[in-house]
Amino acid sequence: MPNNEIVNLLWSGGWDSTFRLCDLLLVQDRRVRLYYVVDPGRQSVAQEIKAMQRIRKRLQERIASFDTRLLSMQVVWLWEIAPESSMTSRYESLRKRFKSFGPQYEWLGRFVAEQGIGDLELSIESNSFRPNGPLWSALEDMLVEEERNFRLCDNPSDPDFEFFRSFRFPLIKTTKLAMMHYAKEHGFDDIMFQSWFCHTPHNGRPCGICHPCHFVITEGMSRRMPLSGKIRYILHRIGFKLR
């Protein structure tokens, strides 16, 4: 019997969030509300939107009740997100202590506070080729599993981690390779390869040198990288100045 409870999912058209979307709709028979935050300063926005259009089209072809299962996507411009001092303060405390805590999490914290979302899913994945950073390792120790998902425990040992209270982490113990095998097993691997990953496209194609491109190659997903990106990756690795 399908679960009619709505899953709130942050979607970017990328591999991880697309995997979660496909699993929810095609395997778990769930209802999903998508959220997308437009950051006009991000060079990959156009490619992300095109990827989302391709993926939605393929899902619509496979799901008879598409309009009732996938609710209207909530699109918000970055500058529309209101200030929220408590979330910003917690973010800054974590960033100072752990260093590698991207600025997108600051506005995501403000976003869930403004929208009143208590369970926004972030598709942060595991990685079998490199260790998790100290912040994410510490967070994992404070997560509890609940209905095939992970949330912050009720009384975290570090109060700064209350920043993550309104988020869920369904993929935090799942690698990209595991996602690929699962998608193939359940027949939606073709949809997965419509997703986007590069942060700084070169002539509309993956650049081969940004962090997501690097991870695609080193995490065993190099088939997603076009030849031009692979060449740029190699040149970058041996010290050629590109871009």
HSE-CB for 225 with a 13 A CA cutoff:
24
Tell me the DSSP string of 7-56. Answer: EEEE--SSHHHHHHHHIIIIIS--EEEEEEEE-TT-TTHHHHHHHHHHHH
Q: For residues 136 and 100, what is the distance between their CA atoms, to the nearest angstrom? A: 10
- Of residues 102 and 167, more confidently modeled: 167
**For position 188, what pLDDT does the model report?**
97
Residue linked to tokens 């391709």: 54
Q: What is the mean pLDDT of residues 211-226?
A: 85
Question: Both tokens of residue 200?
Answer: 């700084």
- Of residues 98 and 35, more confidently modeled: 35
pLDDT of 76 > 90? The answer is yes
Q: Residue 6: helix, strand or coil by DSSP? A: strand
55 Cβ contact partners less than 8 Å away, ≥ 6 residues apart: 13, 18, 21, 191, 194, 195
Query: What percentage of the chain exceeds 90 in pLDDT?
Result: 74
How many other C-beta atoms can be found within 10 angstroms of the C-beta atom of residue 12? 24
**For position 222, what pLDDT does the model report?**
85
- CATH 3.40.50 corresponds to the domain 6-196: yes
Give pLDDT tens digits for 177-186. 899 999 999 9
pLDDT of 145 > 90? The answer is yes
Label residue 2 by pLDDT band (50, 70, 90): low
**For position 133, what pLDDT does the model report?**
83
pLDDT of 40 > 50? The answer is yes
pLDDT of 127 > 80? The answer is no
Q: For residues 74 and 112, what is the distance between their CA atoms, to the nearest angstrom? A: 12
Q: Residue 145: helix, strand or coil by DSSP? A: strand
Q: For residues 203 and 229, what is the distance between their CA atoms, to the nearest angstrom? A: 11
CB 109 within 8 A of CB 10: no
* Poorest-pLDDT segment among 31-35, 113-117, 200-204: 200-204
Q: How many residues does the chain have?
A: 243
**For position 1, what pLDDT does the model report?**
43
Q: What is the mean pLDDT of residues 226-234?
A: 90
Q: Residue 152: helix, strand or coil by DSSP? A: strand
**For position 215, what pLDDT does the model report?**
84
**For position 20, what pLDDT does the model report?**
98
Domain ranges of the chain: 6-196, 197-243
Label residue 235 by pLDDT band (50, 70, 90): confident
20 Cβ contact partners less than 8 Å away, ≥ 6 residues apart: 9, 121, 123, 170, 171
Q: What is the mean pLDDT of residues 167-179?
A: 94
Question: Both tokens of residue 53?
Answer: 């259009």
* Poorest-pLDDT segment among 61-75, 76-90, 203-217: 203-217
Cα 201 to its chain centre, rounded Å, is: 18
Label residue 223 by pLDDT band (50, 70, 90): confident
CB 20 within 8 A of CB 124: no
Q: What is the mean pLDDT of residues 19-39?
A: 97
Q: What Rg, from alpha-carbon coordinates, does the chain have?
A: 18
- Of residues 132 and 144, more confidently modeled: 144
Q: For residues 239 and 225, what is the distance between their CA atoms, to the nearest angstrom? A: 20
CB 31 within 8 A of CB 5: yes
